[in-house]
Amino acid sequence: MQKTGFSETRLRRLSEVLQGYVDREEIAGAVTIVHRKGEEAYSDAIGWQDKEARIPAQRDTLFRIMSMTKPITAVAALLLVEEGKMRLFDPVHAWLPEFASLVVLRDPKGRLDDVVPLDRPITLHDLLTSRFGTGWDDHQLQSEVMKLLPAPVAMPLGAQHAEVHLEPDSWMKRLAELPLLYQPGTRFLYHIAHEVLGVLIARVSGQTLDEFFRERIFEPLGMRDTYFTIPREKQGRLSVAYAPKDGGGLLELERPESTGWAEIPLFLSGGAGLISTADDYLRFGRMLLGYGELDKVRILSRRSVEAMITDHLTPEQHAHPFFDETDYDGSMMWTNKGYGYGVSVRTRQIGIGPSEGAFFWPGALGSTWIADPREELMATLMIQLRGAMLPKNSMIAHDFWTMIYQAMTD
């Protein structure tokens, strides 16, 4: 592996580590690909696509990538900016009139009827950075916000009381009935902004989100296995989704023959709605690693990708990790990384891991990736376990990164 700068022997340690997770029944299976300096350096499929039916994981196994949808949605929004159809810092009320009359809690922990007007209009930049004023976190409206999870993503996340039958206009009306917790631009709050972005992209483009993604991103990049709705002929390639079982082992969440991803959803989730493969997401990440271009196909400009992978959080916002999450070294979530447009950006290297400037964002069912411009590296890890990317639940992402970086020889 001289050209890719890896020791083949050392890189095979990644297979051994992942196999250990399967043998201990901490995950059912894993598909991973490592690409560096323009060449594929490693790939493996380990364990099971369907543990109960003893169907092995394959390189083309489909996974519910959940929040790995968010960077794709961010790219779609930037495409519209580059065409002059939106501006980053203009108000979005022209396309989202529901936001024109939003109010903000005077005190995020205070009475729900004690509200004030917006200090300023919400912009596309606020949405892209998840700072428009509401979202997931430990706050008094969290249960109401969680009800806005659409089908099919609500079920594997355990959101049993979600209002899954809302179409986009009704969903936006329901969201606008809730006060914002913070003024626009002042606090990172997770997830909901990317659902709003999906609605915004559809309204501005005049296309459904799946049409826009397919025509502008998936087809140009050759992403042939990425969908909001799984084609019937590919349904058998979908992995079973699992959750950790109390006392050890795995609990089934959703099977391919009964998956909600087989039905066209009323609300196309720009925050978590896609299914994909390790190969398809590798192509998307390599496009970002190429600053908007892959195989002589340009999706975005270099400047747009640079904006996407820049940390936009303020020092005060770095002091407030959502849900009190910590990093793998025990530091607060935003101590050594920040947030760009749909991606987290390393602001400092931790141990044997991604370089400063590397970027990623994982999914709630365990899949993750890393793009490292300094190392010319893009790698994907697809698994199917709820919560596996949270350090308090599993160290698999940390081990994934360590096994890649320890194998570099140049």
The pLDDT tens digits of the residues spanning 107-163 come to: 999 999 999 999 999 999 999 999 999 999 999 999 999 999 999 999 999 887 888
Q: Residue 325 — very low, low, confident or very high, per pLDDT cuts 50/70/90?
A: confident
Kindly state which CATH superfamily the domain 8-68+222-405 is placed in: DD-peptidase/beta-lactamase superfamily (3.40.710.10)
> Do 180 and 192 form a contact (C-beta atoms < 8 A)?
no
Q: Where are the domains of the chain?
A: 8-68+222-405, 75-205
pLDDT of residue 158: 87
What's the pLDDT at 165? 86
Predicted pLDDT of residue 162: 85
pLDDT tens track for 26-54: 999 999 999 999 999 999 999 999 999 99
Q: Which residue type, as a one-letter code, is found at position 217?
A: I
Write the pLDDT tens digit of every residue in 175-190.
999 999 999 999 999 9
Could you give the dihedral angle defined by the CA atoms of residues 180, 183, 187 and 191, in that order, rounded to the nearest 10 degrees? 40
Among candidate residues 287, 267, 108, the one with its CA nearest the CA of residue 197:
267
- Determine the topology of domain 75-205 in CATH: Beta-lactamase (3.40.710)
* Range scoring the smallest mean pLDDT among 109-113, 369-373, 401-405: 109-113
Other beta carbons within 10 angstroms of residue 10's beta carbon come to 15
pLDDT of 300 strictly over 80: yes
Banded model confidence at residue 209, pLDDT cuts 50, 70, 90? very high
Tokens 């009800």 sit at which residue? 147
CB-based contacts of 358, cutoff 8 Å, min separation 6:
345, 346, 370, 371, 372, 373, 374, 375, 377
Global pTM exceeds 0.95:
yes
Domains 8-68+222-405 and 75-205 share a fold: yes
pLDDT above 70 covers what percent of the chain?
A: 100
